[in-house]
Amino acid sequence: MSYPFQIKSLEQYHIDYKKSLEDPEGFWSGVADSFEWRKKQPFSKKGLDWNFTEPSVKWFEGAKLNITENCLDRHLDSIGDRPAIIWEPNDPNEKVRTLTYKVLHKKVCEFAQVLRNNGVKKGDRVCIYMGMIPELVVAVLGCARIGAIHSVIFGGFSAQSIADRLYDAEAEYIITCDGAFRGAKDIPLKSIIDDALIGNRTVKRVIVHTRTRTPVSMIKGRDVWWRDEVEDVVESMHEEVLKVPAEEMDAEDPLFILYTSGSTGKPKGVVHTTAGYMLWTTYTFVNVFQYNPGDVFFCTADIGWITGHSYIVYGPLLAGATCLMFEGIPTWPDAGRFWDIVDKHKVNTLYTAPTAIRSLMSYGMDPLKDKDLSSLKVLGTVGEPINEEAWHWYDEHIGKKKCPIVDTWWQTETGGILISNLAGVTPAKPSWATLPLPGVKPVLVDEKGEEVTELTDTHYSGNLCLTMPWPGILRTTWGDHERCRQTYFSTYENKYFTGDGAFKDEEGNFRITGRVDDVLNVSGHRLGTAEVENAINMMAGVVESAVVGYPHELKGQGIYAYVVLDGRNRHEEDDQLTKQDLLATVSRIIGPIAKPDKIQFVSALPKTRSGKIMRRILRKVAEGELENLGDTSTLLDPAVVDEIKEGKI
Ligand code: WTA
């Protein structure tokens, strides 16, 4: 496996960057030559067709392929016996599983046939709710093999959240597990699915894999065991199953839906298509991490998030890499677990989130005692801004000052990394994501959408937009294209608006400062303030609420909720109990990841005379800045602010 598109020097980066902007079609057609196509034409004629007004973005439309043939089949002759996935179980004493490309290919072919036998067809939506086990990868690729659209839901979401997503995607099939091991916990996934299915009339089939052997209810005619279904295929087809052709897909056919939070209440289904996503994940994987064949790559994300989709499943497998997949959590059985895994499997690249780094830092140096870590060559971070202290700790104590750190900025909507240094090739700058990748044209704009040209101190500061499409950009939001237009393409004309604020220095490096919209980033997990408010407002006795983010030492951002209760439910002495009820309610509606860190009961929210909640003030109070609240003269009732200030917890 070699990568003709791998950038090997700073000079080459500049050349490729320029080429990619001047002739995007030519540039990406060149990269596309490294892949297997059923039919390459006509993309060499019309590689890219786009406008950001509808919006409509089409890369290589008319060309045909199946992404799993690129992930698996094309590697069989050359690296078929190389590990594709090394799986480290939650319990360090349980056996490691290694799946070579040949083994993974066989499992995917068999499971694709299971899906066919159960009636799944091209274009059908399949919801996947599983723990971090190799079968999750098999399920994802099994769907892609037959052209079904997968929608993976993170295990930390509640039954209600799953039900909303099933309804929105009109999913007819579910793949799940009896349960999932995470640290000392056993999460009853199937039981949560059963709750999500109460009243659902669309789902026809639930395929259940056994992992924890937690007792589950199995409903005749709807629920089937994964193992039985695979056995049927193996017994009836034997090796023939390997010859069943994968579905031929158009370059622009949808590959998956992934739900993510925005500034409005309901999460939206971000849609990625086949060829563009394939190119983008491979290209960014190889270049950002400077992956070399044979290296062991460890991405600590969950496949329920975009990072897991792009840098555990698709990017690494497309590049023929060896990917380490970890079922558990960084602090179990102790806070040295990541470092044990690095040593046990001789990990070369570690890709994790600042929140994990900060949390491990807080345990001090003890967990690092007797850890070797000398196999590490490259470190990466993703998901939120990394503070300098965490960056230096990562550099000194994990990378021993010899591993480049890549600070990778991107989003669910971008499919893969957009702004990052390239390990050892372009320079790093602590807490800066640095330079855009080829194909990416970022610009900072002011409130009016004008490009920022005035320096503030040593840098430009503005809202981060992208002015041309790269292959991995989202194509739509499922079932509601207008929402996609509104959310990303209507704030500034002819630009994709990221929702992030950023600085840019005079060398063209970017530093992402965080969201400027009502999206929270809690431990690297995206949540909408409106989404959390809706959940709080569902509790009996709540009149209204306002949710803001505040700086949190470990999580990056914490959730601060101001809640107005009606008199009947307000028993001062029971405040603690009421708060617990509130947490239980939010857990039930969205999931444990959305539980507020702080709750303050107030008699009213600060509102303008036109009834708008003044979040600016709430944010300041949450940040502990009680003195400097700015202009409060437009408030309907300024006394409310005094009460909020006094009652601050
Ligand atoms: C934030 C995760 C600073 C950002 C891949 C973005 C970052 C949101 C970085 C997307 C980074 C991600 N530095 N901020 N390196 N990476 N973000 O969709 O606010 O879960 O808009 O995708 O995370 O979160 P999402």
**Nearest ligand 1 atom to alpha carbon 498:** 21
Q: What count of other Cβ atoms lies within 10 Å of the Cβ of residue 601?
A: 20
Ligand 1 pocket residue status of 526, Cβ below 6 Å: yes
Determine the average pLDDT of the residues in 527-549: 96
Is 152:304 a contact under the CB 8 Å cutoff? yes
Q: What is the pLDDT of residue 43?
A: 65
Ligand 1 pocket residue status of 433, Cβ below 6 Å: yes
| Range in 303-307, 491-495, 630-634 with the lowest mean pLDDT | 630-634
Ligand 1 pocket residue status of 307, Cβ below 6 Å: yes
- Percent of the chain's residues with pLDDT above 90: 90
CA distance 309 to 174: 18
Is 409:417 a contact under the CB 8 Å cutoff? yes
Q: What is the pLDDT of residue 643?
A: 87
Residue 557 has pLDDT above 60, yes or no: yes
Q: How confident is the model at residue 238 (pLDDT cuts 50, 70, 90)?
A: very high
CA distance 42 to 456: 48
CATH number of 96-255: 3.40.50.980
- 627 burial class (0-12, 13-18, 19+ CB within 10 angstroms)? exposed
496 beta partners: 466
Determine the average pLDDT of the residues in 445-469: 95
Give DSSP secondary structure letters for 328-374: S-TTSS-TTHHHHHHHHHT-SEEEE-HHHHHHHHTT-SGGGTT---T
Residues 176-217: pLDDT tens digits? Answer: 999 999 999 999 999 999 999 999 999 999 999 999 999 999
Give, in words, the CATH class of 520-646: alpha beta
Q: What angle do CA 130, 154, 332 make, to 5 degrees?
A: 80
Strands (E), 553-617: 556-565, 598-602
Question: In whole numbers, what is the pLDDT of the chain averaged over residues?
Answer: 95
What number is the ipTM of this complex? 1.00
Fold matches, 96-255 and 520-646: no
Q: What is the pLDDT of residue 205?
A: 98
Q: How confident is the model at residue 635 (pLDDT cuts 50, 70, 90)?
A: confident
Determine the average pLDDT of the residues in 467-491: 98
Q: 344 alpha carbon to ligand 1 midpoint, in Å? A: 30
Among 521, 525, 527, 557, which is best to mutate for testing ligand 1, by the most ligand atoms less than 8 A from CB? 521
Atom 15, ligand 1: residue with shortest CA distance:
409
Q: How confident is the model at residue 45 (pLDDT cuts 50, 70, 90)?
A: low
- Percent of the chain's residues with pLDDT above 70: 98
Determine the average pLDDT of the residues in 328-342: 98
CA distance 438 to 24: 9
Domain coordinates of the chain in residue numbers? Answer: 96-255, 520-646
Ligand 1 pocket residue status of 406, Cβ below 6 Å: no
Ligand 1 pocket residue status of 382, Cβ below 6 Å: yes
Q: What is the pLDDT of residue 584?
A: 97
Residue 648 has pLDDT above 60, yes or no: no
Residue 371 has pLDDT above 70, yes or no: yes
Determine the average pLDDT of the residues in 480-505: 97
Residues 106-163: pLDDT tens digits? Answer: 999 999 999 999 999 999 999 999 999 999 999 999 999 999 999 999 999 999 999 9
Q: What count of other Cβ atoms lies within 10 Å of the Cβ of residue 505?
A: 16
Strands (E), 215-267: 223-225, 249-250, 254-260
CA 400 remoteness from chain centre: 28
Q: What is the pLDDT of residue 639?
A: 86
CA distance 417 to 17: 15
Q: Which of 302, 401, 301 is nearest to 351 (CA)?
A: 301
Residues 563-599: pLDDT tens digits? Answer: 999 876 555 668 889 999 999 999 999 999 999 999 9
Q: 411 alpha carbon to ligand 1 midpoint, in Å? A: 5
Atom 12, ligand 1: residue with shortest CA distance:
383
